[in-house]
Amino acid sequence: MHDNPALAAGRFGATDPHGVARTLLHLATDPPGHYPHCAQTIALLAAAGAEVNAPCTGPFPETPLHWAASSNDTEALDALLDAGADMEAPGGVVDGGTPLADAIGFGQWQAARHLIERGARTTLAQAAAVGLRRRILECLPDAAPPSQEELNAGFWHACHGGQYVVAVYLHGHGVDVNWRPSWDNLTPLDAARRSHATDVVQWLRSLGARPAEDLGPHRPGVGRRAAVEQVE
């Protein structure tokens, strides 16, 4: 860095077939993350002039914080946030959302809760995924209730997060137990099964919930795992 300070702000991988060019901070947080001395590396790069909020190029303009969140790497998260990273930055694989959206989408629960503890804003769906009951109540005011789509998304995320009590509560507000999101061809039952949430799975089956394979065609956007494969 002392011999070539321009490296801190440089981009690498411009010849990638998907047009993805990463910064050194992206390389320091590249999934699976948890690299030795990552906090010191991030602090060094930031001090040398690396832009902590620089998005990578390509189909998903994620910041290094998105990558750290997707890797469940709380040490990297703290180092980036301490260096001024924007936890509300858009561009994530999951619906173009924030680092929190990526953490929840990939089931990286430690990173998700860590971001919330550090002040990340939550939607109804995100609050449902991690079981923030007070926040869920705040999202369900009598004067301006959420849309049907928001309720369905909240229910799906509660099942994805294995949040049985939250799922039961949202079900009482009238949700589609077989709703599938735009980014994934999974029903709430599928999501709960993938997360090994046995109690949620049994309850959903008692309601007559069905897996996606039993339903008609669904054309979601690029799925989370498929999206990641595209840029690797």
**Tens digits of residue pLDDT in 164-198:** 999 999 999 999 999 999 888 999 999 999 999 99
Give the contacts of 71 (CB within 8 A, at least 6 positions apart): 29, 30, 31, 32, 33, 34, 108, 111
CATH code of domain 1-121: 1.25.40.20
CATH class of 123-232: mainly alpha
H or E element: which one contains 81? helix 74-82
Number of alpha helices (DSSP H) and beta strands (DSSP E) in the chain: 13, 0
Q: What is the pLDDT of residue 58?
A: 80
- pLDDT means per 10 residues, the chain with 232 residues, are 60 63 92 96 94 90 97 98 97 93 96 97 96 92 86 97 98 96 92 98 98 84 42 34
Q: What is the pLDDT of residue 59?
A: 84
Give the dihedral sign, CA 94/192/175/172: negative
| CATH 1.25.40.20, the chain: domain bounds | 1-121, 123-232
pTM of the predicted model, to two decimals? 0.86
